[in-house]
């Protein structure tokens, strides 16, 4: 099992729109998990806008040791994840005040890339004319640049 894994889903069954709602789940190697699914009140989020925010925020955190934390709040949701850079250089993922675990920036970025790619390949790619498509594309390009930089050391 990977050190950290993400899963993204879309609730709508029609053609994808940048304003569709969906869910996010993150799991760390020892089975600690956070999910926006199944809560009351509902914590589903505008998944495409949230993904662009998540990717951009995690990239900024991982790009520089000076960045010490990032708080992700799902768009249109009360679902919150916190990412904290530790003195060891790892990133701690926190949900509801409890640490899910710590991962390297490289593992975190790789997990995001894999999950995002898988999500979009499952008939969830936005049409190019969608207003959110450019934001998501920009975030994906930032993810690739940041992952290359982090992997290079």
Q: Which residues of the chain have pLDDT under 50?
A: 1
Measured distance CA(130)–CA(83) in Å, rounded: 30
Whole-number pLDDT of residue 37: 93
Domain-wise residue ranges, the chain: 4-152
Q: What pLDDT is recorded for position 2?
A: 57
For 41, 55, 61, 99, 130, the CA distances from 146, given in Å and listed in that order, are 35, 10, 10, 24, 25
Residues 6+ apart with CB under 8 A from 1: 29
How does pLDDT run across 62-93, given as a tens digit for each residue? 998 889 999 999 999 999 999 999 999 999 99
Classify strands 4-10 and 21-28 as parallel, antiparallel or unpaired.
antiparallel
**pLDDT at res. 13:** 85
pTM of the model as a whole: 0.94
């Amino acid at each position: 099992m990977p050190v950290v894994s993400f899963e993204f889903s879309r609730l709508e069954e029609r053609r994808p729109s940048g304003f569709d709602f969906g869910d996010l789940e993150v799991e760390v190697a020892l089975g600690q998990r956070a999910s926006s699914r199944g809560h009351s009140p509902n914590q589903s989020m505008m998944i495409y806008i949230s993904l662009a925010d998540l990717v951009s925020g995690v990239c900024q955190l991982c790009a520089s040791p000076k960045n010490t934390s990032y708080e992700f709040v799902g768009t249109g949701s009360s679902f919150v994840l916190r990412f904290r850079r530790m003195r060891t250089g790892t990133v701690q993922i926190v949900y509801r005040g409890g640490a899910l675990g710590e991962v390297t920036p490289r593992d975190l970025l790789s997990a995001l890339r894999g999950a995002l790619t898988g999500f979009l390949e499952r008939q969830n790619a936005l049409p190019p004319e969608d207003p959110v498509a450019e934001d998501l594309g920009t975030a994906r390009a930032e993810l690739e640049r940041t992952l290359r930089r982090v992997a290079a050391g």
